[in-house]
Structure 1
Amino acid sequence: MRLEDPWDDAPATGRWDTAGGRAAVPPAVPDEQDAALRAADIYLQVQRSSAFQEVRRRYRRFVVPATLAFLLWYLAYVVAATTAPGLMARPVAGAVNVAMVAGLAQFLTTFVLTWAYARHARLRRDRAALELRWDTQEMTRGAER
């Protein structure tokens, strides 16, 4: 399954237009305009680079399945709670029933998913994103000169 990034072809020029209902930015001094255009070109170049696309791909490969799994798990809980009240009311231990265990499992799932996301970001994306950031800053500094 391949998901297209909706921002992939969006121009990163930073320009505002009045057609989209946004206020127009007043024109800058020509030197500032040239610097802004050079910076915009740099960011477009970075956005189209294979390194940036790889960081985005790694992000999507984790987030999309994790989000779908969590939403399905939550939906299953809600459906079970509304359609199978007898099952959810079944005692597990003392006054604790299946609904309580499933509800607490929702919280546990949230914490586990947060930990997994942070770990994935640290191991799979942070270093590449930091390198892109440094490269972009170096390119921007070089364009200012």
Structure 2
Amino acid sequence: MTIAKETIRSLRAVTPQSTIIEARHISQRFTADNSTELTVLHDISFNLYEGEIVAILGRSGAGKSTFLRALAGLVKPTSGTVKYRGETLTGPNPGIALVFQTFALMPWLTVQDNVELGLKARGMPKAKRTKLALDAIDMIGLDGFESA
């Protein structure tokens, strides 16, 4: 079965206008303990536009998390560039937050402290991060568990 070009275009929920993230020719290679090189990503280009929702699908070990880490500025790609709103990333992307699949909470912190952790690392003032954290906690239905 062949899908017509017109059908594919109609699946795009937004008209590309404002580019949020632009990844160009991203490749990521790692060197294993035995000195062999493993290519996880090879020449991937990608744009994310304002208002667009994207899913990245692939089998386990395909490089999805590595690609997301590159988009978030948490790892520097072996080659290629990532831009956020037109600016080349040189560190953590200010417009991305990741929730990892594995358990990643600090068990010695309260729910609220865990939610505020990233905002605190960015140097956000206490009053502002408290308000944002409480709003997020309320939004996901954990109201009343801030001190847990």
Same fold, judged at TM 0.5 (above): no
- Name the structure, 1 or 2, with higher relative contact order (CA <8 Å, separation 6+): 1
The TM-score, its normalising length taken from structure 2, stands at 0.23
Q: Which structure has more strand as a fraction of its residues?
A: 2
The TM-score, its normalising length taken from structure 1, stands at 0.24
